[in-house]
């Protein structure tokens, strides 16, 4: 396991602030209060390290498979209208990430990035039905010679920072990282109607390991 690069600055700042805070409370406050602050700041730092963890995983890239772009739980599987890019019917698979999940995103398939757009927005809870349209979000479309899919990173009530590394024209490699969302969020995947779905509602999935669909 390693620490994700998006956590470097936050963890560094936490170390500086927590060390200074503990130094001051140990000098100017009661011993028991100082130990309480030390315990709390240590717990907060451990939680931050856990959040920004990047586990080492053995990834298998198989043709005709669509991998989960993130860790989390499947909360939506439905046919719906995709109005931003395709403007037609698509199968939507949504995965909710709690603050305890790994929060980087990977390409579900290999291909070429043909669309990317960031949308500022609200911060409704990630499982809210309107969060896909109203929240801060970033959309990426990857296409190969067999299929085109859309992935949408969505900020939640806590997450207020979406990072998308993908750029239009990039060559996407299945299971390679393309983004990160800080502090709880959701990812929507839009697939062509008729795609074979390989997951069920409330199923727990892992990025680059769980196959959500086949084509």
- The answer to whether 152 touches 137, Cβ cutoff 8 Å, is yes
In whole angstroms, give the CA distance from residue 92 to residue 69. Answer: 13
Closest CA to 25 of 8, 13, 39, 14: 39
Considering the candidates 94, 132, 138, 185, report the single residue annotated as catalytic: 185
Question: Which three-class secondary structure state does DSSP give residue 89?
Answer: strand
CA separation, residue 43 to residues 38, 48, 63 (Å): 9, 9, 43
Q: What contacts 46, CB < 8 A, 6 or more positions away?
A: none
In whole angstroms, give the CA distance from residue 140 to residue 131. Answer: 17
CA separation, residue 83 to residues 27, 143, 151 (Å): 59, 18, 13
Query: Does residue 48 have an active-site annotation?
Result: no
Q: Which two tokens stand for residue 120?
A: 């500022």
Closest CA to 113 of 149, 156, 162, 81: 149
Place of tokens 């956590």: 7
Active site residues: 185
């Amino acid at each position: 396991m390693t620490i994700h690069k998006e956590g470097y600055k936050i963890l560094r700042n936490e170390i500086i602030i927590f060390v200074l805070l503990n130094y001051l409370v140990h000098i100017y406050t009661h011993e028991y209060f100082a130990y309480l602050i030390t315990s709390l700041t240590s717990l907060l730092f451990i939680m931050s390290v856990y959040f920004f963890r990047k586990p080492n995983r053995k990834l298998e890239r198989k043709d005709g498979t669509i991998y989960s772009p993130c860790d989390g739980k499947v909360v939506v599987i439905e046919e719906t209208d995709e109005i931003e890019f395709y403007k037609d019917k698509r199968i939507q698979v949504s995965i909710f990430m709690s603050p305890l999940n790994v929060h980087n995103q990977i390409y579900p398939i290999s291909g070429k990035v043909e669309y990317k757009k960031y949308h500022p927005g609200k911060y409704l809870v990630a499982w809210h039905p309107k969060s896909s349209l109203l929240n801060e979000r970033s959309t990426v479309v990857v296409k190969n010679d067999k299929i085109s899919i859309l992935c949408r990173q969505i900020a939640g009530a806590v997450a207020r920072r979406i990072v998308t590394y993908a750029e239009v024209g990039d060559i996407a490699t299945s299971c390679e990282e393309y983004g990160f969302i800080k502090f709880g969020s959701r990812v929507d995947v839009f697939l062509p109607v008729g795609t074979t779905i390989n997951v069920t509602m409330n199923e727990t999935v892992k990025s680059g390991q769980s196959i959500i669909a086949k084509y």
